[in-house]
Structure 1
Amino acid sequence: MTSDVRDAPETVEIDQTTARCDGGGALGHPAVYLNMGSKGWVECPYCDRKFVLKEGAGGH
């Protein structure tokens, strides 16, 4: 029996409501721009990296 244990996806604090994610590194994924809207966070559909709005931020 093998265990497929993965690290939790990274959480990145940003100071704007739009995030750009490319997965990082040489083996990332296509760059995507993600809009968090009024939620204050958004997850990348490719790598599950979570982007959260820094406290007090809210610019574009």
Structure 2
Amino acid sequence: MPEAAPGVSGEISNQIRGVETYDDPFDGREVELPGDYRYAWVNPNVGSTLDWRLLRPAH
């Protein structure tokens, strides 16, 4: 059986589980959120509403 290209099995797993992976630019890591979100935002300043940033899908 041929091997899947790198990342393909992870993408399939995410689709099955209904999640999407996003890059968190503040923590420098990836986070998984429900796949039906149209936009994902992060606020690195706990208790503040001044610095909300749009998360980008991980590639």
Q: Which structure is larger by alpha-carbon Rg, 1 or 2? A: 2
Same structural fold, with TM-score higher than 0.5 when normalized by the shorter chain: no
Q: TM-score range by the shorter chain?
A: under 0.3
TM-score normalised by length of structure 1: 0.27
Higher helix fraction (1 or 2): 2
Q: TM-score normalised to the size of structure 2?
A: 0.28
Q: Does 1 or 2 have the higher relative contact order (CA < 8 Å, sep 6+)?
A: 1
